[in-house]
Structure 1
Amino acid sequence: MSDKQKTLICGDVNGNFNSLFSRVETINKKSGPFDVLLCVGNFFGDDNSQLDAYRMGTRKVPVPTYVFGPSNSDHVKYYNCAEGEDIVPNVTYMGKRGIYTTSAGVKIAYLTGLSRRELGKDIPMVTFEPSDCSAVRDSCFRGQSEFRGVDMLITTLWPSGIQEDECQKVEVEKERLSDLIAWLAIHIKPRYHFVPSTSKFFERQPYRNQSHHQDYKECATRFIALAPVGNKDKEKWIYACSLQPISKMRMTELLQSTTDETACPYDPNLLKQHQPGKVVTVTGNGQFFFNMDANDDDGQHGKRKRKGGEESEKKKKGIDLDQCWFCLSSPSVEKHLVISVGTHCYLALPKGPLTPYHVLILPIAHHQAITRAPDEVVIEIKRFKEALKSFYSPMNKVAVFFERNYRSAHMQIQCVPVPKQCSEQILEVFQDEAGINSLELEVLPPYTDIMQVTFAGSPYFHAELPTGEQIYIKTKQYFPLQFGRDVLSSPPILNCEDKADWRQCLLSREEEDQHVAKFRRKFRPFDFTADENSDSD
């Protein structure tokens, strides 16, 4: 069975349902079966009488079809069903904005309709706000410390800048261009970006997305504008593609260049805007006093107060601290996951934890790896490790600590409790998994300092085992991102292989709140930061 999804995409239908579904049926018989049909433009038109036959069942929709929000105020009355419900059998209304992951794992982000800010007026169901852009972006990012991009972005408006290409000139009405869509596209890095065109078909040369980090290479985007269904000029209005989900692709495939590839057409300053049209500034990264019980009044990521510390540079080696998901000074951090805050480090619940007491140790300020962290950070990390070992001991569990300094901008030390009786097996499982992945694993003696075996800027995987042994892998061009989780979720250890990929075991916000509250309560007798904070008061 193929792990790729066969997808059809069409432009404005405008009520030409028979033309659309007859063509889809022909394509499906000849080149299918196709899994989904996505209608990226106006589904309804001035005359929608052809839909009656599909509503009564005398005609059938040949492929599961997804329709998005209206961009014409006259069409609002036709959307008489809730989001996620069928307009007619096998045609589902998806709403104005969101992210939809298909059964094959293909991730589709969408924000349809017109911009209220750029249109100058609000039309219910038709217009969107800058906050809608942020919501879609945040939905794409949620639960992902290693964001690769999305498979597809569907918008009604064209992103500003996409039309300005020296090799391919295209005329686009000014009102169909949007800075907000450009902001969204540069942030979520779609492999395909589909929009409707009022007349001509347009496929731009693929462009390479920009990265927050100079050393990283991002995926490329293919931008495609589809003509209206059944147009008289016979411009292309339907597009077929076979997609392997971005989450299942090897990095070498994802980053492969093409001969016609161009630079990103969008203003690079858009990457610095945490919210559309607003550059969020951060001052200093000294000691942060973090109110973990405060509410998110604005519905966005939590804001925090800084007390003391010296002013420091906003960016370090090209890293924008506004965009880092783990700096406590960043607007992007999800404060409800924070469990305990020390002077230089903090504990937080990871997304998709392997166990209820799986936790992350992270530096408060921005440090890429422990090999680049100052002494005071390293010392406090060791204090947190000892506290966690003591915390797990009454549960008859021992701790495995591991860090992956590969495609990660902010240091994260994973701490996973495992049953004490499996301590002696862990090294063997690590060695087996390394062999399967053709990785050269080195066993380090107890008490070895990782900084003795690698250079500060070199990528690596490092783990400390309950036996005192340490393992070290010098990562090369490719390293399996879930390597540590693959080992610990295996049957000999935690026996939860369904949780090897954190994306498959994400918790709801309510469940995350419950996990954090329980961890804090039980960890309090072992938490040295509680005593220090009370002393400082």
Structure 2
Amino acid sequence: MDAPKILVLGTVTATAPLYRRLQKLHAKQKFDAAFCVGTFPVEEAVATPAPLPVYYLLPANDPMPDASSIAANVTVLHGHGQVDVGPLRVGYLAGVFHGEPPGYTPGDVAALEALGACDLLLTQDWPRGFHTLLPDDRIPGSLRHKTDATGSYLVAQLAMRLRPRYHFAGVPSAHCELPPYRNDQDSSSFTRYIALAEQGSDQKSLYACVIGPAPSAPPADVTPCPYTATRTEPSSRPAKRPKTTTSMAKLAPVEVAQTRWAMGPQSGQPPPPGYVCRLCSVAGHYIEDCPQASTPPDGYVCNRCHQPGHFISACSMKRASREPQECWFCLASPSVEAHLIVNIGPAMEMSPDERSDLDKYKEALKTMFNGNCVIYERFIATRAATHMQVQVVPVDAAFDSRAFRDLCARESGVDFEVVDDKFTVDRIASDSQFIFVEAPGERMLFHMEPGDRRRVPLQVVRQALAVMAGEPAKADWNMCRLSVDEETAQRDRFKSQFAPFDPFPE
């Protein structure tokens, strides 16, 4: 049997010119299939017969076209999975993890990993860390200054686990090829990574290859795996600011409102000579201090009070509180899953003693786990949030706090600062949002001043811990669900183990 011949495409903007090109190529070479790893016009693509079998990736959160409407030679690969094309096993993962909403979940990645190795891996997302061993002139210009925010760590991990011979990606749309890399130090298997640009661009948007028998030895230019290597070459990209130790005084409530937390100029201070506000075209103030910045456009109506004249952020009407009717771990909720409760402190629902009781529980758990645990407290505003929470996760004795911080910064854009070992959240202004982490050996804080509108992933800590534990699917707590009987049995086992450390024994 002849070795399979395939074509891989980047983002498709129009099917007519693409199919004309494919028709010419297919007439000369007789390709077995074409795969699109970018985005594509769904209605147009599925309604137009293709000149050869064409496979499109469609994220799971996009509706699947009706089977009866899909034209001849067109196949839509929905979500994630594997498909056999002749002798080739093709794994695919559609969507972008950092999209809104995410195009796939850690659970999808784990499910694809469970299907086993594949010859081709098709992902729309790029792998985070693709650039680690590349010189700057090999990195696409559009990505050169944002490599640390490009792609997903989950895709990098997926490629390492599945060890495909080829890995293709298409979002963002840019052409990039890595030298073949080893999947591990002692293995002869290697992977070629190719990212493709958008159809019609001046970059490479189509890749043709013949998938013959796997060679017995890697090529001479093989490199280590970029996703586990450390970049050592000089780079022209701006260096990340050094990590600093933040004092408690810097975060005192009176000072928090005056501090930008290393994010640009001081509000209210005059700009340098020559600076002109881009909003009103007048010098003398920054754009954030511009009088027009607080004036909504004509026709704008506040979505909270339904009155014109102000933005919702300046609305005097308080947001309606939400009753915790559906919360499964609020003691006041009729839906509380009481079978999971191990212990209730005598003053946990009271003030001001609740912090003292909470600290006693935290110290008891630290002792129980020999200090090998991560404790994190977060307050990130969401529409559904009705309370703050503290979570405790046991970790391995070899837990690396710096690797944890780096992972949070790379994968979620959350850059933790190391704080003094006596720091407590009492030092943070009551209207500030934060994530405070107590890890083995250090404490760290991510803090947002009032008015900061950045979107912060609520599960950033859990996601990083799950990845570091080799269980990325567990970032989604729904993947940890058990039956009530199994959860009750686990509760009883933990209750027995915790009894010697219980600060409030019955």
Q: What TM-score results when the alignment is normalised by the length of structure 2?
A: 0.43
Higher strand share: 1
Whose radius of gyration is greater, 1 or 2? 2
Q: What TM-score results when the alignment is normalised by the length of structure 1?
A: 0.40
